[in-house]
Amino acid sequence: MNTTALLIGLGPLLGWGLYPTIASKFGGRPVNQILGSTVGTLIFAIIFANIKGLAMPSGMNLWFSILSGIGWASAQIITFKAFTMVGSSRAMPITTAFQLLGASLWGVFALGDWPGVSDKVFGGLALVLIIIGASLTVWSEHKDAGNARLLRNAVLWLAVGEIGYWAYSAAPQATNISGMQAFVPQAIGMVIVSVIYAIVLAARGEKLALVEGISYKHIISGFFFAFAALTYLISAQPNMNGLATGFILSQTSVVLATLTGIWFLGQKKTAKEMGITILGLVLILAAATVTVLI
């Protein structure tokens, strides 16, 4: 792996690492968060496409890219709900583990990443380490039946959301479109989902998120997501890091997301819980390093 590919692969560490904390800090309902985030992503994507002179894709390239965005937005709505249940510092490691299993295994078995036997062995061990690390970050010293129930419910929701995240990562790989070309139609798919979600909730009696100012504050958090998404899409291309390694590199963002959630959002942990959490994060980083060396 060359230095350029590595730096691009670590772009999501900053963008996705700060995104959940910023979104949680702004507050609002999940519908406000997803609406503003997707609009911010679309603005970022359009500006980038104009700077690079990228034309809108057509045919299956267009539709698979839109499907990818629909998958992400659907999954992110569920993730925002999980944030309200257990906090971003607990939800992020859980969703990281599910996403790593879904997208990385798809890259390995469907797209031919990690072609050698030793590659698959070390890559598989890295995935196991990441899952163990993610589990350690949600360990609780003081058992509480109510909190345990919320955590179980959050895990179930996030498992369902993995379908959308898998579609986000896998759909562009089904065509010959580059990550940069897929960016705008992906953002369009995201906005479509968020607008429909806002309208459905309004029809059920909730306030229409489209007219709430808090929704548009989240455009800023959308810029952070968009930066991460763009660098990930480029990193996941076969001539860069590939889907499996690119995805695992992107998920090191869980380290920053977890720590900023604890430090800036008041999601407190005891000294022992913090130590176990740090151990879990170290395992995640160590496993990601293994995949870089494959």
For residue 101, the model assigns a pLDDT of: 73
d(CA 97, CA 164) in angstroms, rounded, equals: 14
d(CA 112, CA 106) in angstroms, rounded, equals: 9
Q: Which helix (H) or strand (E) holds 126?
A: helix 117-137
d(CA 172, CA 124) in angstroms, rounded, equals: 24
DSSP 8-state code for residue 176: S
| Spatial CA neighbour of 16 closest among 130, 99, 128 | 99
Query: Could you read off the pLDDT of 80-139 as tens digits, one per residue?
Result: 888 888 887 778 878 877 877 776 677 677 767 778 888 888 888 888 887 888 788 878
| Spatial CA neighbour of 172 closest among 183, 160, 162, 159 | 183
DSSP 8-state code for residue 116: S
Written as tens digits, the pLDDT of the chain (294 aa) is 678 888 888 888 899 999 989 998 998 999 999 999 999 999 999 999 999 999 899 999 999 999 999 999 999 999 888 888 888 777 887 887 787 777 667 767 776 777 888 888 888 888 888 788 878 887 877 766 667 788 788 888 888 888 898 888 778 767 778 778 889 999 999 999 999 999 999 999 999 999 999 999 999 999 999 999 888 878 877 788 876 677 778 878 888 888 888 888 877 788 898 899 889 888 887 887 777 676
Give the helix ranges, DSSP H, for 204-252: 213-217, 219-235, 243-250
- Residues of 45-61 as b/e, b for ≥16 C-beta within 10 angstroms? beebbeeeebeebeeeb
Domain boundary assignment for the chain: 3-293
For residue 22, the model assigns a pLDDT of: 93
For residue 35, the model assigns a pLDDT of: 96
Is 106 within 8 Å of 242 (Cβ atoms)?
no
d(CA 50, CA 43) in angstroms, rounded, equals: 11
For residue 184, the model assigns a pLDDT of: 95
| Spatial CA neighbour of 182 closest among 104, 76, 67, 39 | 67
Number of C-beta neighbours around residue 293 at 10 A: 9
- Residue whose pair of structure tokens reads 């998404």 in the numeric block: 229
